Amino acid sequence: MNDGLTRKRLGRAALNGAGIVVFLFAVFPVYWMVSTAFKPNDQIFTTEFIPFPSPPSLDHISRVFTKGVAGHSIWQYLLNSAIVAVSAVVLGAVFALLAATAVARFRFRFRTSFLILLLIVQMVPAEALLISLFTMVKRLGMYDQLIGLVVINVGLTLPFSVWMLRTFVAAVPKEVEEAAWIDGASRFSTFWRVLFPLVAPGLVATSIFSFITTWNEFAYALTLINDQGKYTMPVALQFFVGQRSTDWGGIMAASTLMTIPVLIFFLLVQRRMVSGLVAGAVKG
């Protein structure tokens, strides 16, 4: 009995230790980025290990705010990224929810083939589609326009969102919808008032994935946008890298500012996700 209890405690301690190691491994780059943003240049380029800036310096952050990047305000790049990310999340959520509901609730020809095709699309590297999508965007007149980036990012995140939401829709008992129909609810009313609240947690999870993917996207934003004033934040960061030197303080300061909207979005949406889970449990 004692041996079994000891093994259980050792196993739990090993799992907790592994979790702590993984957590530190994942958090350390973010910590180093924020720390470097507040270090003066002499502490950035020193060979000594300086875990915390002493004293903290706001030179890099103030320079990014006042001088901007490549002649444009840092707020312009943040606004461009926000427009693309929020638009892609909203449109992607609508299309993904409708497609996931159709796949989970209806039986039609080539349904299995459609699901397999979603997995195949996920396995194709996004860079492999760059040339063909560039040609398509240019022919549609959306080159050098933020709307082109929105459409591309919706397409890139949609397969994963549909596949993930399908499991949430399939988990909702069909009898719940049938009960609403018996009570006189229309199909749209059943979808909006019954199915949507129960699937909301999954929709929030896919929205987080879509937002982070779109916010950090670089290759398509660099290829499909020519006007520097329409660049997103990931593309704007490249201007800190010169031919002979790299402004590490500026990169870390701008990267820290770029991370803040993602954290705010996650914290706001996380509350919605928890409330949606509780609401779904009560209604189910």
Query: pLDDT per residue over 7-25, tens digit each?
Result: 788 888 889 999 999 999 9
Computed over every residue of the chain, the mean pLDDT equals: 85
Mean pLDDT, rounded, for 106-133: 83
What's the confidence (pLDDT) of residue 273? 60
For 144-166, how does the pLDDT look when each residue is reduced to its tens digit (9 = 90+)?
999 999 999 999 999 888 988 88
Of 1-10, 48-57, 113-122, the one with minimum mean pLDDT is 1-10
Cα(215)–Cα(258) distance, integer angstroms: 9
Cα(175)–Cα(239) distance, integer angstroms: 57
Q: How far is CA 190 from the centre of its chain?
A: 30
Name the phi and psi angles at 225, rounded to 5.
Answer: -115, 130
CA quadruple 238, 230, 127, 134: dihedral sign: negative
Mean pLDDT, rounded, for 108-137: 85
**Spatial CB neighbours of 239, under 8 Å, sequence gap ≥ 6:** 69, 70
Q: How many Cβ atoms sit within 10 Å of the Cβ of residue 180?
A: 18
Query: HSE on the CB side for 222, CA within 13 Å?
Result: 12
Work out the percent of the chain whose per-residue pLDDT is above 90.
Answer: 32
50 DSSP 8-state letter? -
Cα(84)–Cα(161) distance, integer angstroms: 17
CA quadruple 104, 265, 233, 138: dihedral sign: positive
Query: HSE on the CB side for 275, CA within 13 Å?
Result: 6
pLDDT higher than threshold 50 for residue 284: no
**Spatial CB neighbours of 96, under 8 Å, sequence gap ≥ 6:** 158, 161, 162, 165, 203, 206
Q: What fold characterizes domain 61-283?
A: MetI-like fold (1.10.3720)
Helix, strand, or coil (residue 164)? helix
For 179-190, how does the pLDDT look when each residue is reduced to its tens digit (9 = 90+)?
888 888 888 888
Instruction: Write down the pTM of the prediction.
Output: 0.84
Name the phi and psi angles at 40, rounded to 5.
Answer: -70, 165
- Give the CA dihedral 45, 59, 35, 255, nearest 10 degrees: -100
What's the confidence (pLDDT) of residue 264? 85
What's the confidence (pLDDT) of residue 3? 67
Distances (CA, A) of 147 to 75, 88, 131: 19, 9, 18
Of 107-111, 164-168, 180-184, 268-272, the one with minimum mean pLDDT is 268-272
**Spatial CB neighbours of 30, under 8 Å, sequence gap ≥ 6:** 259
Cα(46)–Cα(93) distance, integer angstroms: 47
Q: How many Cβ atoms sit within 10 Å of the Cβ of residue 67?
A: 12
| Contact call for residues 52 and 210 (beta carbons, < 8 A) | no
Q: pLDDT band at 81, cuts 50/70/90?
A: very high
What's the confidence (pLDDT) of residue 78? 92
